[in-house]
Structure 1
Amino acid sequence: MSFVADSPTVMVVDDHPIWRDAVARDLADDGFEVVATADGVASARRRAAVVRPDVVLMDMHLPDGDGAAATVGVLEVSPSSRVLVLSASGEREDVLQAVKAGATGYLVKSASRTELADAVRATAQGRAVFTPSLAGLVLGEYRRIALGPKAGDSGPTLTERETEVLRHVAKGLTAKQIAAKLSVSHRTVENHVQATFRKLQLANRVELTRYAIEHGLDKEP
């Protein structure tokens, strides 16, 4: 059995210090080597680049973005890491965004200490682990992707705000200009843009603008 399977290194990402420290302590007591903790998207990416953990235990709601964005950032700087989401949210959108961002598994925070330890070991071994109530949801999404778009299927569904932001991007507005128009923060606009990138599987703003123009989103509704 490999070292990773026996005692994987773990990084815990959560913005609540008491919860984060308790989880890190429990994992250490169960024989895992907790090599780092982080409280947000930026710190998770920065620390993952240094410690390159086998498993990243990821919360979905962080002060400077979401767990999906943090997952993308971590995997960019540490491609060999595997991300296991541990979140209070079991919402469909959160689960699917995490999986599409590259997460290997998803547990809700009601999981027991034993279930968490088993899930971390399984994740380190490359197995997908999901809270039972979420497994069917993820399987259904994989099946939908594998079958491809059906007749009449318009493709990924953007929220009303994501569509609004995309329309302004297509007009050439910057994130700061869009934020001013919509009376939201610059960070909120960037989060919507990143979510749209993931949903539409686009790489940059040029492709995003092309998509918007092709779908008539550069014109007022």
Structure 2
Amino acid sequence: MTTVMVVDDHPMWRDGVSRDLTGAGFEVVATAGTVAEAAARAAATQPQVVLMDMHLPDGNGAAATAAVLEVSGEAKILVLSASSEREDVLEAVKAGASGYLVKSASAAELLDAVRATADGQAVFTPGLAGLVLGEYRRMSTVPDAKGGADLPSLTERETEVLRFVAKGLSAKQIGTRLGVSHRTVENHVQSSLRKLHLSNRVELARYAMEHGLD
């Protein structure tokens, strides 16, 4: 059972999301309404996934993300916010968030996003993944990163899969795009992780973003 902490300063919203998660088979181990509460309760419960609001009374979601990861390094942070502002999205990702979902998402989309985040996928509301990719490309200082020239150890198919991983697609979605099974996609992902000395899909997605793959 995946353990989840819900961080939001609105009690009714927090309780409603917690009920949806519990009903779907997740274990909500903690809730919090401030940055300070989020850090303290993450340290105590070590949740696998943290649903994080971007606007809290004593700071923002980026500060809370950094605080939670400092005390619970294995947690995966999925921002769930009413804001889709560029600055909020980029600040959250730079602080260590694995994904970003706007609150207009349906309950089913939220539950799917939590499952995907727990599995190590980078999940973004459509349109936001492109924003993050563009920013990482702009910030990239790797001199030979253009066009993936610094990835000689990856096969053409592995690089192709990597581009889809960076966009937040699941193995099943990538398989559909490429006409292969999701197991074949996962084999390519695992091979890429080994070659690049990375540990999970989130790190792989960030690697792709930092190296200008789209």
TM over 0.5: yes
Between the aligned partners of 1:137 and 1:148, the Cα distance in structure 2 is 20
Q: Letter of the aligned partner of 1:19 in structure 2?
A: W
Deviation readout 1:11-45 (Å, 9 max, x if unpaired): 00000000000000001001100000000100000
Q: Letter of the aligned partner of 1:47 in structure 2?
A: R
Q: What's 2:3 paired with?
A: 9
Q: CA deviation at 1:144?
A: 1.9
Q: What's 1:51 paired with?
A: 45
1:132 to 2:142 alignment: no
Normalised to the residue count of structure 1, the TM-score between the two structures is: 0.63
Overall identity of the aligned pairs, in %: 73
Could you tell me which of 56, 64, 85 is aligned with 2:58? 64
Q: CA deviation at 1:135?
A: 1.2
Name the SS of the counterpart of 1:106 in structure 2: strand
Moved over 6 A (4+): none
Deviation readout 1:111-140 (Å, 9 max, x if unpaired): 011110110011111110000021110111
1:27 to 2:28 alignment: no
Unaligned runs of 5+ in 1: 1-6, 150-221
Q: What's 2:188 paired with?
A: none
Q: Letter of the aligned partner of 2:44 in structure 1?
A: V
Q: Letter of the aligned partner of 1:114 in structure 2?
A: A
Q: CA deviation at 1:89?
A: 0.2
Q: CA deviation at 1:145?
A: 2.6
Q: What's 2:157 paired with?
A: none
Q: Letter of the aligned partner of 2:88 in structure 1?
A: D
Root mean square deviation, CA, Å: 1.1
Between the aligned partners of 2:9 and 2:130, the Cα distance in structure 1 is 29
Larger Rg: 1
Unaligned runs of 5+ in 2: 144-214
Q: CA deviation at 1:147?
A: 4.4
Between the aligned partners of 2:16 and 2:73, the Cα distance in structure 1 is 27
Deviation readout 1:165-200 (Å, 9 max, x if unpaired): xxxxxxxxxxxxxxxxxxxxxxxxxxxxxxxxxxxx
Name the SS of the counterpart of 1:117 in structure 2: helix
Deviation readout 1:27-66 (Å, 9 max, x if unpaired): 1001100000000100000000000000000000000000
Q: Paired residues, what number?
A: 143
Q: CA deviation at 1:8?
A: 1.1
Between the aligned partners of 1:139 and 1:116, the Cα distance in structure 2 is 22
Q: CA deviation at 1:77?
A: 0.1
**1:158-177 alignment runs, 5 A limit:** none
Deviation readout 1:77-134 (Å, 9 max, x if unpaired): 0000000000000000000000000000000000011110110011111110000021
Q: CA deviation at 1:141?
A: 1.4
